Amino acid sequence: MTASDAADGESDEISDDEVVQTAAEAAEQVVFSRFDRSEVSDVDIAVSFEDGVLEIDVYVEADGDADPEQVADDAALAAQGAVDDLFDEP
């Protein structure tokens, strides 16, 4: 089941808040798996889930070996994947 399936009423078990929290935690995990907290000067993870539409925006400003833009993209993809997994659980 996808996030849009949930909006069609196929699953009343997963709340919008749970979707948002799952996505935000997954994104944060990616950011801080690539950068030490001391290397990150700014991180902004914005997640919304309304009417079955998931929106994820990740901004990372950090020093370190990893590319902050790539890390932000990877974090957003991980957030989407975590939400997909949430809806795929039996």
pTM value surpassing 0.85: no
- Non-local (6+) Cβ contacts of 15 within 8 A are none
Rg of the chain over Cα atoms, rounded to whole angstroms, equals: 14
Q: What is the pLDDT of residue 13?
A: 81
Report the distance separating Cα 76 and Cα 51, nearest Å: 19
User: For the chain, which ranges sit under pLDDT 50?
Assistant: 1-11
Q: What is the pLDDT of residue 12?
A: 55
Q: Domains (ranges, CATH) in the chain?
A: 3-88 (3.30.300.100)
